[in-house]
Amino acid sequence: MSAVIAEHDDHHADEHHDHGPAKGLLRWIITTNHKDIGTLYLLFALAMFFVGGSMAMVIRAELFEPGLQFVDPMFFNSMTTMHALVMVFGAVMPAFVGLANWQIPLMIGAKDMALPRMNNMSFWLLVAGVLLLASTLFMETGAPSAGWTFYPPLVLQPITVGTALPFAVFAVHLLGISSIMGAINIIATIFNMRAPSMKMMDMPLFVWTWLITAFLLIAVMPVFAGAVTMLLTDKFFHTSFFNAAGGGDPVLYQHIFWFFGHPEVYIMILPTFGVASTIIPVFARKPLFGYASMVWATGSIAFFSFIVWAHHMFTVGMPMAGELYFMYATMIIAVPTGVKVFNWTATMWKGAMTFETPMLFSIAFVVLFTMGGLTGLMMAIAPVDFQYHDTYFIVAHFHYTLVPASIFILMAAGYFWLPKWTGHMYNEKIGQLHFWLSAISVNILFFPQHFLGLAGMPRRIPDYAVQFADWNMISSIGGFIFGASQLLFLYIVIDTIKGGTGEKVTDEVWEDASKHSLEWTLPSPVPYHTWETPPMLVPTEHVLDSH
């Protein structure tokens, strides 16, 4: 049907006097090539995944038994705070920006990102921001320990922040500037650099979800930057935004924070949806079911993300009208999200499915993300949320939507595109082992936390009452297995880059993949420069399907 692709060919490369990458280490510092920058982002995110993961191991080790075992409570609190910040701003977000850098130009037939120099700058600002944040770990008073949400008045009290607060605030500024620049770049690329024949509704869903995510980033990262700046001036310049004595209100901070915070959680999940919508059709050997409804669902989820923030703070003492409004508004989000889950299921329905590692991770994502979504619905019900609030139930909920969702899909993306990027096949046996270990242990890790939360165990505590001992121990065991299993992924990434199984992969890599998206029409490994001449025709399977 489609797949009449591209005048593009290697010989064009010669005509354009192309040069390969610069030699040596300097290549990685000065590069403006979208593939190099994508690689930098992905490797950095992988490193941070292990840094943040080690912090999680400290947390699970301390919670293995009741009582204080390994670390003092203040350090424990620093670990929960830093684990969240590193995972959100250092691992998940940069990983998706890395995927965007690699894939968006390849998928829309652009020769590079729209603003290549800014692209380089946003990566290195990210590194600077994360280093600044990490530097607080070595300060005498310790890293920030009031939770990643930085709630005042706790975060302003000397004992919980010490000297770390200004460093954390400036780190947030740098990370914010970095992701705003990344977002601007992505929007400009998608709007201006598409192959002339590609209309908006021809774009792969990964591109669509990132376009919408980029707008979310531009809209909310500055608000977060503003909120932490207010904390900074309250602390050091005698303003009273959140200081009751000066006429301020700490609850205001929570409103501003979650005005950013709720879209932020969708910033981490929308590209996840995009990758899942890319992988599932390939292994179901069917076009994506309901392409247009997927686009609209993504858009409406993004819109709703701006008007539901206060469901994070039902217990703060809101008026009844507010509780009701935020409760119903939150529940509406289940509709577009449900559309997506049903579409993925329908894509698989009667498909000629095969179960390679990327597909396994994607199917696990659909199942486990749905569970995370269902507990989200439970918490949307304001009156019962009073029981769940700030317990391990919420910890279980958002980890289900982040670990077996965002992280699993990032793994799936790695397995899916690494052969394309490197030209080498990964070891399928180890990949499958990695999947099964991860999928089983992630449930041992997080499922018991639902029970702990319902029984009343609060989050962010280093010690707990003895009745919580059994499930905590099981959860910790799951955590250790999950953590150790990820080393397999590290091994596979290194092994694949170095040559993998030695099997030569085809241009398509996966059977008929070129029907789904443009990148599979390029040679494997992808040359350093691609689409010097835009492709003439683009795969339009989903478009044909929707007519």
Partner 1 sequence: MSDEDVSKKNTKLAKKLLLVAVAMFGFGYALVPIYDVLCEWKWIERDRPDDIKKVPEVAYKVDMSREITIEFMTTLNESTPMEFRSEKKQLIVHPGEYHTVNYYAENKTDKVMVARAIASFSPAVISSYFEKIQCFCFDEQTFKPREAKVMPMRFTINPELPEQYKTITLSYTFFDITEKSVKK
Out of 8, 235, 262, 389, pick the active-site residue: 262
**Among candidates 197, 185, 195, which has minimal Cα distance to 110?**
195
Can you name the residues that pair with 458 across neighbouring β-strands? 391
Gap between the Cα atoms of 486 and 411, Å rounded: 10
Whether residue 238 lies in the annotated active site: no
Q: How far is the CB of 513 from partner 1 (least distance, A)?
A: 29
Contacts of 404 (CB under 8 A, 6+ apart): 364, 365, 368, 369, 372, 439, 442, 443, 446
CB of 358 or CB of 534, closer to partner 1? 534
The candidate with the shortest Cα–Cα distance to 403, out of 84, 32, 80, 47, is 84
**Shorter beta-carbon distance to partner 1: residue 154 or 473:** 154
Told to judge if 112 belongs to the known catalytic residues of this protein, a careful annotator would answer: yes
Answer yes or no: 459 catalytic. Answer: yes
Min CB(541)–partner 1 separation in Å: 27
Active site residue 179: yes
**Distance in angstroms (rounded) separating the CA atoms of residues 302 and 299:** 5
Q: How far is the CB of 187 from partner 1 (least distance, A)?
A: 6
Q: How far is the CB of 243 from partner 1 (least distance, A)?
A: 8
Residue 356, Cβ density class (10 Å: 0-12 exposed, 13-18 middle, ≥19 buried): buried
Question: Is 178 a residue of the active site?
Answer: yes
Q: Please tell me which residue in 337, 347, 401, 496 is annotated as part of the active site.
A: 337
Least gap, CB of 9 to partner 1 (angstroms)? 20
Catalytic residue list contains 520: no
What is the spatial distance between Cα 201 and Cα 543, in angstroms, rounded to a whole number? 8
Catalytic residue among 8, 41, 81, 148: 148
Check if 296 is active-site: no
DSSP 171-240: HHHHHHHHHHHHHHHHHHHHHHSS-TT--GGGS-HHHHHHHHHHHHHHHHHHHHHHHHHHHHHHHHS---
In order of 20, 32, 95, 199, 531, the CA distances from 534 in angstroms are 20, 20, 27, 14, 5
Contacts (Cβ under 8 Å, ≥6 apart) of 7: 533, 535, 536
504 is catalytic: no
Is position 54 annotated as part of the catalytic site? no
Nearer to partner 1, 182 or 358 (CB): 182
By beta-carbon proximity to partner 1, the closer residue of 122 and 476 is 122
| Residue 438 annotated in active site | no
- Between CA 378 and CA 376 the distance in angstroms is 5
Q: Can 385 be counted among the known catalytic residues?
A: no
Buried b (16+ CB within 10 A) or exposed e, 522-539: bebebeebbbbbbbebbb
Using the minimum distance from each CB to partner 1, give the nearer residue, 250 or 478. 250
Q: Tell me whether residue 244 or residue 367 sits nearer to partner 1 (CB atom).
A: 244
Q: CB of 240: closest distance to partner 1 in angstroms?
A: 7
Shortest distance, CB of residue 526 to partner 1, whole angstroms? 21
Element (H, E) at 146: none
User: Catalytic one among 312, 389, 420, 529?
Assistant: 312
Write down the catalytic residue from 102, 208, 258, 266: 266
Q: How far is the CB of 121 from partner 1 (least distance, A)?
A: 12
Catalytic-role residue among 81, 189, 277, 278:
277
Q: Residue numbers of the site for partner 1 (CB under 8 A)?
A: 114-115, 118, 153, 157-158, 180, 183-185, 187-188, 191-193, 218-227, 230, 238, 240-241, 243-247, 249, 252, 255-256, 259, 317, 319-322
340 is catalytic: yes
Alpha-carbon gap, residue 420 to 13, rounded angstroms: 19
- Quick check: 366 and 344 in contact, CB under 8 A? yes
Alpha-carbon gap, residue 144 to 138, rounded angstroms: 11
Query: Which residue's CB is nearer to partner 1, number 215 or number 342?
Result: 215
Cβ proximity of 357 and 413 under 8 Å: no
Nearer to partner 1, 37 or 452 (CB): 37
The single residue of 80, 178, 278, 540 carrying the catalytic annotation is: 178
Annotated active-site residue 337? The verdict is yes
Among 8, 194, 311, 450, which one carries the catalytic annotation? 311
Catalytic status, residue 450: no
Catalytic residues: 83, 112, 148, 178-179, 262, 264, 266, 277, 311-312, 337, 340, 459
